[in-house]
Amino acid sequence: MKVVKTVSELRDAVSAARQSGQNIGLVPTMGALHKGHGALIDRARAESGCVVVSIFVNPIQFDKKEDYEKYGRAMESDLAFCRERGTDLVFAPDEAEMYPQPQRVFVEARALSEYLCGMFRPGHFRGVATVVTKLFNMVQPDRAYFGEKDAQQLAIIQAIAADLNMPITIVPVATVREEDGLAISSRNVRLDTDQRSRAATLYRALRAAADRLASGARPVEARLAAINVLREQPSIRVEYLEIVDPQTMRPVEEIHGPVRVAAAVWIGETRLIDNVLQVHR
């Protein structure tokens, strides 16, 4: 496994792999790697001659400076994690390499950013869209892998690839969960034992809505079922809980195709997001 820190070394390594006939799979991450990232790397490994993992905590996607500073960093264990999973190339640039001057050009999908997380984290998805576009242009992968847990991010990145005509296939990978259903996230370590024991309520709430939809309930009823599950735990504060179209990420009032039940909740000082896809019968 090769580890590079500059765009120029990255381009050289990728272009050597391509010249030897390998296709390129990219897994963009912010480090603090866990089983969720592992599923992305495994999928890339199965489909690619050369697996590239990028590790960069992207300052321009944090709406609050303290969130950027407290975001987990664990380069040594991340590199070991990548090595064990058969990664070929790790790109771990510093901030000056990614942003040699203040960024002037941004990529935005405002229509997809108006609801859900985008409503509560102004500028977040602009920062994500911009750094992902930069990474895509640096690596020029054939495929790039993103987790379904960040469903709005996934929808935005699929829109970027389609609407900006990038020759890249975006591969969604199913959310990895703990035994009790909690979606694996780097934020879970911030939960204390008591909070952790209540965190799976989020997934139970989403499932309750999805099960109601499967029985033919309307979105308004399914949403209420989910909110009632969350009310059992008054210490969980709901930021949003919506039933949305998976492409437009806008709330739906009637079911005409697949939907996502998506929520963000706060447990103490920790914000958790999760979603489940419900395909109509």
Q: Which residues bind a second copy (CB under 8 A)?
A: 7, 11, 103-112, 129-130, 133-134, 137-138, 140, 156, 159-160, 163-167
First to last CA, the chain: 45
Taken as a whole, the chain contains a residue count of 281
Alpha carbon separation from 167 to 55, 157, 163 (Å, rounded): 23, 13, 11
Q: Which is nearer to a second copy, 62 or 136 (CB)?
A: 136
Query: Which residues, 6+ apart, have CB-to-CB distance to 2 below 8 Å?
Result: 13, 88, 89, 90
Determine which one of 37, 124, 256, 280 is catalytic. Answer: 37
Query: What gap in Å lies between CA 86 and CA 188, rounded to an integer?
Result: 26
CB-count burial class (<10 Å; 0-12, 13-18, 19+) for 8: exposed
Closest approach of Cβ 37 to a second copy, in Å? Answer: 23
Closest approach of Cβ 211 to a second copy, in Å? Answer: 32
Q: Which is nearer to a second copy, 110 or 256 (CB)?
A: 110
Q: Which is nearer to a second copy, 15 or 235 (CB)?
A: 15
Closest approach of Cβ 165 to a second copy, in Å? Answer: 4
Query: What gap in Å lies between CA 261 and CA 210, rounded to an integer?
Result: 7
Q: Which is nearer to a second copy, 101 or 193 (CB)?
A: 101
Q: Running DSSP on this structure, what letter comes out for residue 23?
A: -
Closest approach of Cβ 255 to a second copy, in Å? Answer: 22
Q: Which is nearer to a second copy, 46 or 162 (CB)?
A: 162
Closest approach of Cβ 159 to a second copy, in Å? Answer: 5
> Is 37 among the catalytic positions?
yes
Residue bearing tokens 């492409």: 247
Q: Are 25 and 44 in contact (CB under 8 A)?
A: yes
Which phi-psi region, left, alpha or beta, contains residue 35 (left: φ > 0; alpha: ψ -120 to 50)?
A: alpha
Query: What gap in Å lies between CA 202 and CA 56, rounded to an integer?
Result: 28
Catalytic residues: 37
